[in-house]
Chain A
């Protein structure tokens, strides 16, 4: 598991698969610090996205921390944190 890391492209792929692509937003642009709400993803889209990440990466994300992760960077950090814990 130690070689596994979660990148922006992984998040893009899972967002598209689980919640679709919002209209008028280029997910391939620099979206690291753009709020999900601005990107057009509401809380349920994030719930679905995090559920898919948990399944694919075999980790568990704390619901309270997920709610506070309002940007792609915050979610990526959260996931990588869990991945490194899992690999210890």
Chain B
């Protein structure tokens, strides 16, 4: 089967807008977690978030797009522009039906939806924007990107919480193997608004610690939930042969993927996450010894951290592989989190450096080789893990 190459990428992360800003901060352990500024979070139990700094939509997007887009869609549109630009794709380079968009979403345009619900209940139905019909919708980022760039090939959206970011990239890979030349994929999410906050708090996994350096401590004995963030990453995927013909710069290859769903009760045997890892490695035709680094899901919920450490230990052995969670600098970005880790993995491969997990002292009984200072080592193959609330497990292998 044809290899699928990453030929462009772009980032909007809480610790850096744009790939270079993100990567510079990430390598240096600079966190973007701070007090919520997008709304008054003081009455809420969780008051910290990772917010994308310096994003002014009107600087990048025409006024025609603003009344019809949620904050997350605006970030996604700009990130998509940058990713396509990074891949050197110009309109007309590739037939419009050979290019598609497959993104992940966790909640759709929450802030937009909240504003329209407020209008509905406080003023009446005639005050609800006509654009509510699609602006809230899960598939809206894929749709708006597709319209903006005339990408009319296979497109869609995957909704499986945090795992969705990997599931979308895997689906994009599938579409390229079926004949599409280029698919833009990944995820950009944001729901830092009262309604989004209420929903995330109801999920029961948000940290209520209000010190930015101790609020999100995956694999630490003090782990007590995560900080939520906004943003994510988009990647340009191309058939490797086509990319070669176009003379594209190649960051790496999407080499393997596995996804599983948790059983209602794990009955001894291997966990869903472990099975996903094994499927992904088999798909990439590599053994565990070929993996140079694992980008962890890093839930920061004690039993989930334990389950992840066990899955990694079962496949790689005790302290058998470097493990990192740069999301300790951004918070968990819902569907945007795993694509951001995929970008970090590709840049680790490019630069020979594993970015750190910040603020964390790994609990010794987890037997992880947790990277807490940037580590300069050659990286050729990386494994990215992502779990979605409700039982989704996904694993993706990227190779330089």
The chain A residues found within 8 Å of chain B, CB to CB, are 16-23, 40, 44-45, 47-48, 51, 54-55
Contacts and interface: CB of A to CB of B under 8 A. Distances in A.
A10 to B, nearest CB: 18
Interface in B300-345: none
B66 A20 contact: yes
Nearest to A24: B62
Nearest to A23: B62
B96 to A, nearest CB: 19
A40 B127 CA distance: 23
Interface of B: 62-68, 126-127, 129-131, 133
Contacts of A19: 64, 67-68
A16 B126 CA distance: 18
Contact of B126 (A22, A23, A45, A51): A51
B126 A21 contact: no
Contacts of A45: 130
A20 B65 contact: yes
Given A44-B133, A48-B67, A51-B126, 14 more contacts: A16-B63, A17-B67, A20-B64, A20-B65, A20-B66, A20-B67, A20-B68, A21-B62, A23-B62, A40-B64, A44-B130, A47-B130, A48-B130, A48-B131
Contacts, number: 37
Contacts of B68: 19-20, 44
Contacts of B63: 16, 20-21
Contact of B131 (A23, A44, A54): A44
A55 B64 contact: no
B126 A55 contact: yes
The 3 closest A-B pairs by CB, nearest first: A20-B63, A48-B130, A20-B64
B126 A48 contact: no
18 contacts: A17-B67, A18-B129, A19-B64, A19-B68, A20-B62, A20-B63, A20-B65, A20-B66, A20-B67, A21-B64, A22-B64, A23-B62, A44-B131, A48-B67, A48-B130, A51-B130, A54-B126, A55-B126
Contacts of A54: 126
A40 B129 CA distance: 18
Nearest to B133: A44
A45 B131 CA distance: 8
B57 to A, nearest CB: 12
Contacts of A47: 130
Nearest to B124: A55
B322 to A, nearest CB: 48
A48 B116 CA distance: 13
Contacts of A23: 62, 64
A18 B126 contact: no
A18 B64 contact: no
A15 B131 CA distance: 14
